[in-house]
Amino acid sequence: MAKRKEGGRRANLIRCYLTDGEYSKLLSYTTSMNISVSDLIRAKLLYSGMLDVDPAKLLEVFIQIAKDIARIRSDVSGIYEILGQEKGAVSVEYLLIELRGALMESQADTACLEKAIRMMLIRMDRKEKML
């Protein structure tokens, strides 16, 4: 591995031969994206897994998050309704079991959603630093 040049520039050169048509497409793409050829190569070859954020999939994730939150709220509301009803009809132990189950499920869903959002933010941060 070569040492970095002065000024923090990268010292390792990679050469590639392209046809005139390929080179024209490459320049057109980099110009439209307002990035250098080097940045494009790094982004696509080295960091492509981190840069692929499909807006449709992201929307699906957020829709699922909203559905999960709505379901959790509904479950908790249902438990509170039961608590507000006649105390003799439902045992306290049953209510505690139901509430504990809903809370554990809520915590598991929250942890899963937090992990997915954290990973998405890391990818977006890396993408921002790349470009």
User: Which residues, at least 6 apart from 47, have a Cβ–Cβ distance to it below 8 Å?
Assistant: 126, 127, 130
Domain layout of the chain by residue ranges? 6-46, 52-130
Query: Does the pTM of the predicted model rise above 0.95?
Result: no
> What percent of the chain is modeled with pLDDT above 70?
74
pLDDT in tens, 34-83: 888 888 888 777 766 554 566 777 778 788 888 888 888 787 777 777 76
Mean pLDDT in residue range 117-122:
76
Closest CA to 79 of 98, 61, 65: 98
Closest CA to 42 of 34, 51, 33: 51
Q: How confident is the model at residue 17 (pLDDT cuts 50, 70, 90)?
A: very high
